[in-house]
A and B are shown apart, each in its own frame.
Chain A
Amino acid sequence: MEQTPTGQDADNHDKELVSIDASFEPLIPKFLSNRKKEVTVMQDALSAQDFDTVRKISHGMKGAGGSYGFDRVTEIAAVIERAAKAADIRAIQQKLPELESYLSRVEIVYE
C-alpha cells in the first residue's frame, strides 16, 4: 500500500510507527497474527457476555505487548482487562475496535 510522505497510506489512515528490537524480528509475524486472532476471540466472547474469556486474553496480551515493544497493545489490553473484571460491555466495545485498528496500522522499525 502506498504511503504519503506523512506516513499515511493511500486511504489516509495514519500509520503507527513502532521501534522494535531487531533480534525480535523472527517472532513478530506470529505475535501480530496472534493478537489479531485474539481480537476476534474477544469480540465473540463479548457477544456471549463471556467476560472471563475477555479477561484472560486481555491479561495475557497486557503482559506480552509491551515486552515485545508494543506498548500501545499493553495499554489497550489493560483497559480491556479492567473492563472485563467490571463486566463493562460498553468500555470493551469501545476498545476492541481501537485495538483492531492499531494492529492493522502498525508499521515496524527494527533497531
Chain B
Amino acid sequence: MNDQLSTNKPQLLLVEDESDTADLVKLIMEGQGYQVTHVADGGEAEQMIALMPPPSLVVLDIQLPNTDGIALLEMIRAIPEWSNVPVVMLTAVSDEQRIRKIFSLNIQGYVLKPFNRETLINQVEPFRTTAPQAD
C-alpha cells in the first residue's frame, strides 16, 4: 500500500472475480499508466474500500461473490471521501432495467463484456488523474 501511495501513477481499484478477465483489465490499464489494485471478492472489496485511500478510478463488476457490485457502488457513494471517485461498471449484464438501476447510482460509464481493448481505454481515459477531486 505504501509503495502504491508513493507513486505518481493514477490508482485504479479493480473488483472482478473472473481471474482471466481481471488479468486482462490489469494488463491493459497498467499499459495505460495506472497502478492497479485487484480484488476478486465483493466482501474483500468492502474491507479494502474501508481501509485504502480513494483511488483515481474504480472498475467494478456487478456479479461478484458475497457483496455484489451494486451494493459496493452504494457503499462507495455513501463514503464522503469516495463520493467523487469515478466508477466504471464492467459487466455482462445487458438487460435495460439493471443498466438503468446502476446509472441511477451515479456511475461514469460501463463496459459490456466481452469488451475490446479500445472500448475499455476510451471509457476510462477521461478520468485519468493522479488523485480524486475533492468537493
Contact = CB atoms under 8 A, between A and B. Distances in A.
Interface centre among B19, B21, B24, B114 (most CB of A within 10 A): B114
Interface residues of B, number: 17
Contact of B115 (A21, A26, A60, A67): A67
Interface residues of A, number: 19
Given A63-B114, A74-B114, A68 B92 contact: no
B98 interface: no
Contact of B20 (A23, A62, A68): A68
A71 B21 CA distance: 14
Interface string A22-46: 0110110011001000000000000
A23 B92 contact: no
A65 B24 CA distance: 11
Q: Is the interface of A mostly helix, strand, loop or mixed?
A: helix
A97 interface: no
Contacts of A23: 27-28, 31
Given A63-B92, A74-B114, A68 B24 contact: yes
A66 B20 contact: no
Contact of A26 (B19, B20, B27, B117): B27
Contact of A30 (B17, B20, B21): B20
Contact of A67 (B17, B31, B116): B116
A67 B24 contact: yes
A64 B27 contact: no
Given A26-B27, A60-B17, A68-B24, 11 more contacts: A27-B24, A34-B19, A59-B92, A60-B21, A62-B92, A63-B21, A63-B113, A64-B18, A67-B21, A67-B114, A67-B115
